Amino acid sequence: MARRSEARAKREAGGGYTCPFCCKTVDLRNTHYQCTNPACAKMFLRGLRESGAKSVYMSRNLDEEVDVENTIFLGKDPEGPSPVTTRNHIMRDSSGICDMCKRPAYRRLCPGCHNPIPQGAEEEGSTVFVILGPKGVGKSHYIAVLINELTKSFSPEFGATMSPATDRTTLRYRESYYKRLYEEGRKLDPTASYEQSRDSREPMIYYLRFFGGDSPRVYTLAFFDTAGEDLDSAGRMMNLSLNSFTSMASGIVFLVDPLQIPYINSRIRMDNKPPQGKDVTDILSNISNAIRANRSMSPREPIDIPLAVVLTKSDVLMKAPENEEEANVLFGPGSSIHIDRERGRYDKTNFEQISVEIEEYMRRVASGAFVQMVKEFERHSYFAVSALGSNPTGPVLSRAISPMRVEDPFIWLLNCDAEGSGR
């Protein structure tokens, strides 16, 4: 996998590390720390009690201190009924020495939001990939299946490990996605909008670590599962921190639901067909406008963030055609998406073949304007995936989940720095 030289150069030039949780730039010489010695929080709390002073750091649970910064970051009141608490004493200075046990502390925290900063942040920075797409595109299902595939299949294949950055990520993935989909075999519910749900403000963060080669490399994957209407207008997107995430991203995965494209929607015959959606060109245009505004770029200036354009629900495009009209919008048996990629390495030829085919497909079924808009991203590539592998007609999944090519966009993104141009 490629070394992220660009991000590194930026950091060496004083660009700092961008916290994938709160999106702020962190000077790595000025972080907070957490001591892993379990005695220290207790000692700290005993000191507070003995001094008799009232303190915001004192929680109801006498073994745990209140993490004020993290509580505020999650939009809660540190003095309210449910602040975030921790058994690991927090040091709000950059000495790196625990003021209780006087030993060095190795767990670094972002001073803004108190989420962890991984080892290797100096070398690798944060390589954040974001997944965007309008409502109903299949984003939640894609994220749910992708996390499972990256953990269980991609990681052993490429000599990597994938681990959740925080307990909250572990819990959220299990409770909101994995259980329902893999254990109960039911479809996920539509995602609450960003404004309604505080929960969706914090992305699920994973570290993908590669051990091979000269030095280990770590990538940060931020899965920001929004409701999708957050992308409807540039104006609205500007108000959200999603906008900052997107602008600082090292890669964007832009999901497109083929079934919501009017040309396909009116020709394909299937159960459970979603209504036609907003024009994909407009949605992508909102995204690129937001990036340009955020980075003070001029309207036509090319965007240097790699863009993966990903058709979701591709299982429905692989059915046998019932008539000629339908055959027009399906992938035939000769399509390159049937050709397996070579395992354990970046199969550039395979991806290029698919990308060329889907670009032509999009030109035909969406518009030339869409393909043109994609080209405003210097590095781009097209993909087709399926999270479920079959079309669910009711709330219960009647077939086992058998994903198709969900990891392809990430294999490309992880390698496209080394390629210069993705195409």
Ligand X SMILES: Nc1nc2c(ncn2[C@@H]2O[C@H](COP(=O)(O)OP(=O)(O)O)[C@@H](O)[C@H]2O)c(=O)[nH]1
Tokens read off for 239: 């108000």
d(CA 34, CA 108): 6
121 binds, among Mg ion, Zn ion, ligand X, none (CB under 5 to 8 A by kind): none
- Where along the sequence are the contacts to ligand X (CB under 6 A)? 133, 135-141, 187-188, 190-191, 228, 313, 315-316, 386-388, 391-392
Q: Buried b / exposed e across 359-371, counting CB within 10 Å, b at 16+?
A: bebbeebbbeebb
Taking the C-alpha atoms of residue 40 and residue 42, their distance in angstroms, rounded to an integer, is: 5
Minimum Å distance from CB 91 to ligand X? 40
CB of 227 to Mg ion, least distance (A): 6
Query: Using the rule CB under 5 A, is 140 a contact of Mg ion?
Result: yes
As a whole number of angstroms, the distance between CA 274 and CA 277 comes to 8
Please name which of 108, 105, 130 lies closest in space to residue 119, comparing C-alpha atoms.
108
For CA atoms 387, 275, 229, 364, the dihedral sign is positive
What minimum distance in Å lies between the beta carbon of 220 and Mg ion? Answer: 22
What is the total residue count of the chain? 423
CB of 231 to ligand X, least distance (A): 10
Contact status: 290 vs Zn ion (CB under 5 A):
no
Of 116 and 228, nearer to Zn ion (C-beta) is 116
Interface pattern 1-40 for Zn ion (x via CB under 5 A): ------------------x-xx------------x-x--x
Backbone angles phi, psi at 402, to 5 degrees: -135, 85
Tokens found for residue 126: 């944060």
Which of ligand X, Mg ion, Zn ion, none binds 135 (CB below 5-8 Å, type-dependent)?
Answer: ligand X
Q: Residue 98's binding partner, choosing from Zn ion, ligand X, Mg ion, none, with beta-carbon cut-off 5 to 8 A by kind?
A: Zn ion
- For Zn ion (CB under 5 A), the number of binding residues is 12
Q: How far is the CB of 226 from ligand X (least distance, A)?
A: 8
Total of chain residues touching Mg ion, rule CB under 5 A? 2
Query: Which of 35/131 has CB closer to Zn ion?
Result: 35
Identify whether the C-beta of residue 211 lies closer than 8 Å to the C-beta of residue 160. Answer: yes
Give the helix ranges, DSSP H, for 136-273: 139-149, 155-158, 167-173, 234-238, 241-248, 262-265
- Whose Cβ is closer to ligand X: residue 220's or residue 260's? 260
User: Which one of ligand X, Mg ion, Zn ion, none interacts with residue 307, CB within 5 to 8 A by kind?
Assistant: none
Pairing verdict, β 128-132 and 85-86: unpaired
Binding status of residue 98 toward Zn ion by CB under 5 A? yes
CB < 8 Å & 24+ apart, contacts of 158-161: 158/1, 158/210, 158/344, 159/210, 159/211, 159/212, 160/208, 160/209, 160/210, 160/211, 161/208, 161/209, 161/211
CB of 370 to ligand X, least distance (A): 19
258 part of the interface to Zn ion, by CB under 5 A? no
Nearest approach, Cβ of residue 100 and Zn ion (Å): 4
Query: Which residue, 229 or 352, has its beta carbon nearer to ligand X?
Result: 229
Binding flags for Zn ion, 113-142, as an x/- string (CB under 5 A): x-----------------------------
Helix, coil or strand: residue 108: strand
Residues near Zn ion, by CB under 5 A: 19, 21-22, 35, 37, 40, 98, 100-101, 110, 112-113
